[in-house]
């Protein structure tokens, strides 16, 4: 995910303007992203993020109440970039190309941002627990709005007026993407056991089988 870098002193002055507040939030999210991309699992702690960002703990908690909020906010940024990429890829294509364009966008996302896919996989059962109703509403509204933008573009390209039909197909294919990726990308320790014990055949070719399942879902679009 592309980032805008800002230079901050060790003692960051209190942000009063909305713009300054957004800059501080970006510094925190950039720090979380750097740690996420360079480290192993489990997810880096708030203290690690604080150290990476060069901020006081109290400053970080002005913007995020928990580690979960930080990573879900980061995930929203990843989703926003994914939406921009999909809309660009759908621009000016033919109706019969929609399914392949979407498949390619998902596979590119998996290659370029595997940690983002990991966050998406653990979001429903782990990261979304113990959040405020306000943050959950913000998160789900953001995801819904991004989805509707993509669905409207697909509708325009495919001449499919039934947005509800497109919505179900999109959600099914998204769930297929997460489930397939998670199954085919076990932890390295698990993968080592599978290899050593000759159990690798419980896995399958992620790109091949996801593409086949995706096209089956979008058949007729």
Could you list the pLDDT tens digit for every one of the 221 residues in the chain?
Answer: 555 443 333 444 454 577 878 888 999 999 999 999 887 667 899 999 999 999 999 989 999 999 999 999 999 999 999 999 999 999 989 989 999 999 999 999 999 999 999 999 999 999 999 899 999 999 999 999 999 999 999 999 998 889 999 999 999 999 999 999 999 999 889 999 999 999 999 999 999 999 999 999 998 77
**Cα atoms found within 13 Å of the Cα of residue 71, Cβ hemisphere only:** 27
Task: Provide CB contacts within 8 A for 22, sequence distance 6+.
Answer: none
Torsion-angle region of residue 52: left (phi > 0), alpha (psi -120 to 50) or beta? alpha
pLDDT for 3: 55
pLDDT for 43: 87
The rounded mean pLDDT for the chain is 90
Q: Is there a contact between 89 and 104 (Cβ–Cβ < 8 Å)?
A: yes
pLDDT for 40: 66
Q: Is there a contact between 207 and 136 (Cβ–Cβ < 8 Å)?
A: no
Residues 161-201 pLDDT 10s: 899 999 999 999 999 999 999 999 998 899 999 999 999 99
How many residues does this entry show for the chain? 221
pTM: 0.86
Chain-centre distance for alpha carbon 105: 13
């Amino acid at each position: 995910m592309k980032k805008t870098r800002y230079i901050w002193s060790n003692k960051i002055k209190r942000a009063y303007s909305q713009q300054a507040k957004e800059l501080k939030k970006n510094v925190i999210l950039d720090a979380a992203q750097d740690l996420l991309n360079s480290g192993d699992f489990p997810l880096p702690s708030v203290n690690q993020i604080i150290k990476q960002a060069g901020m006081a703990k109290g400053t970080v908690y002005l913007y995020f109440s928990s580690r979960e909020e930080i990573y879900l906010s980061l995930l929203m940024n990843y989703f926003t970039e994914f939406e921009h990429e999909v809309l660009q890829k759908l621009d000016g294509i033919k109706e019969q190309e929609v399914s392949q364009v979407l498949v390619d966008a998902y596979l590119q996302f998996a290659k370029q941002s595997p940690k983002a896919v990991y966050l998406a996989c653990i979001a429903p059962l782990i990261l979304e627990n113990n959040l405020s109703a306000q943050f959950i509403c913000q998160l789900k509204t953001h995801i819904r709005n991004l989805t509707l933008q993509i669905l409207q573009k697909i509708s325009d390209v495919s001449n499919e007026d039934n947005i509800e039909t497109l919505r179900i197909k999109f959600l099914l294919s998204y769930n297929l993407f997460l489930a397939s990726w998670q199954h085919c990308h076990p932890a390295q320790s698990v993968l080592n056991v599978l290899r050593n014990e000759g159990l690798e055949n419980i896995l399958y070719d992620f790109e091949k089988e996801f593409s086949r399942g995706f096209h089956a879902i979008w058949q007729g679009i």
